[in-house]
Structure 1
Amino acid sequence: MVIKILLADSHAVVRESFRSRLDDVPDMEVVGETEDGPSTVELVRKTKPDLVIVDIEMPNTKTIELIQQIKSESPDTNILILTNNLDSHSVCSVIKKGASGYLLKECDFAELIHAISLVCKDKIYVSPCLAGRVMKDCPYTYPPPDQSLLSYFNEQQIKIIKLSAEGKTEKEIGNILHLSIDTINSHRQHVYKEMNIHNIAELTRLAIRAGLIYP
């Protein structure tokens, strides 16, 4: 099924960049672009997109009201907020009102695609650097920790997951656990393979889901 996406951003160059890249992704289609709140609501009414990517800094737009209006016009439309705001309370507010994701503008394209895929499966996505604080400030955002995710790993591997998710370098992990960098990489690759993950961002999400890291 093709994911229909509406881009809501006040900067034409940003919309054009997103459109050019998203149009190259199989099963994703940009069905429209808007530059402010009222035109976004109008186009949602007409196109009923699966997802609206909303720039939280659009002028003359109150984000909370826009989210509510979008959900009123099209309850099945998911909303992904794009922002530079690192305030966890802002994340809580928009998710409580109906947004499904909160993504920093500095994210790479792979993370954007991952976030789109998740929110269009009715899941919540929050940028990893904010996820820990969000769990504390609005715990309803995430399901309870699932420690069964750790049943695949031994004690040393669990420690490596935790330390990696906390942002420790391989050298720092080695000093803490008295392991060589090769051993650390071997354990981490085992974790990646078992959980079908590919990078530190996904490893961080695993650690959060398992309850290994908190603010």
Structure 2
Amino acid sequence: MAQVNPLYEHQRPRASARPAKAISVLLVDDHVLFRQALRHLLEAEPDIRVIGEAGDGRSAQQLAERFHPDVILMDISMPGVDGVTATRDLKAGIPNTKIIILTMFAEDGHVIRAIRAGADAYLLKNSESSKVIDAIRAVARGESVIEPQLATKLLNEFRRISEFREEETVAGLTEREIQLLRLVASGMSNKEIAAELSLAESTVKNRLSLLFEKLDVKDRTQAAIYALSHGLITRKD
């Protein structure tokens, strides 16, 4: 069942202590106690505003279409419409809304399905609370987030798939672009890459945008997959 934060349903009569551009978040999980705990956690953050809750994918779609939240925290296993299906449908209709899968499932199949559906992040429910909060802020900035152990599974799966494809080359990439791609694939942030290459962080951001466009990838995860499948990095067992 969908629940709406009454403070979002109507304009607040008095000035709020929260920033004018607080990140609006929709919680989607069929466990009420978990949603309540998550709401309590997030509402302690001044730059995050919980605008509603839903206990299934269908209710999540209805609330998201009504309020267009910045970020949705989405469970996978729910009655009726599951989280992966809801993610796919929401991304088709409201592509600017970022979706974080927050689930107990760490199996490869669930991760792959969620990423293919358009999820911007994939976290486990046993993650530290600070990671969830950081992930909300990261996806709101347009970044992608995935648990390190899940990233390994994801990369291994795409590497397995790539073995059945025709061999491709990295023709057209400069040595500098290959170096940048390797640093991205290693998990470095823009700030860390800037320090490594002695560049301004804004320069790194611009170069990554051009590189991603050149490779026809949309984010760091896909760039890492590209680097691995083309032999620019090796898998660590």
Residues 28-177 of structure 1: matches in 2 within 5 Å? Answer: 28-138=48-158, 144-146=181-183, 149=193, 152=196
RMSD: 3.0
Choose between structure 1 and 2: higher helix proportion: 1
Contact (CA 8 Å) 1:133, 1:214: kept in 2 or not? no
Q: Which amino acid aligns with 1:131?
A: A
* 2-structure distance, mates of 1:212, 1:65: 33
Is the aligned partner of 1:214 residue 2:236? yes
1:106-133 Cα deviation digits (max 9, x unpaired) = 0011111111122112221111221122
Contact (CA 8 Å) 1:5, 1:50: kept in 2 or not? yes
Q: In the TM superposition, what is the alpha-carbon distance from 1:45 to its structure 2 partner?
A: 0.8
- Stretches of 4+ moved more than 4 A in 1? 147-152, 209-213
* 1-structure distance, mates of 2:140, 2:48: 11
* 1-structure distance, mates of 2:140, 2:158: 21
In the alignment of these two chains, the number of paired residues is: 159
Instruction: Evaluate the alpha carbon distance shift between residue 88 and residue 48 of structure 1 in structure 2; reply closer, same or farther with a 3 A threshold.
Output: same
Is the aligned partner of 1:11 residue 2:31? yes
Q: Which runs of 5+ in 1 are unaligned?
A: 153-208
The alignment partner of 2:102 has SS state of strand
Q: In the TM superposition, what is the alpha-carbon distance from 1:67 to its structure 2 partner?
A: 0.9
Q: Which runs of 5+ in 2 are unaligned?
A: 1-20, 160-179, 197-227
* 2-structure distance, mates of 1:137, 1:78: 24
Is the aligned partner of 1:25 residue 2:62? no
Q: Which amino acid aligns with 1:111?
A: K
Question: TM-score under structure 2 normalisation?
Answer: 0.60
Question: TM-score under structure 1 normalisation?
Answer: 0.65
1:21-78 Cα deviation digits (max 9, x unpaired) = 1011021000000001111100001110001101112122233321122123311101
The alignment partner of 1:7 has SS state of strand
Percent identity over paired residues: 29
Q: Which amino acid aligns with 2:182?
A: P
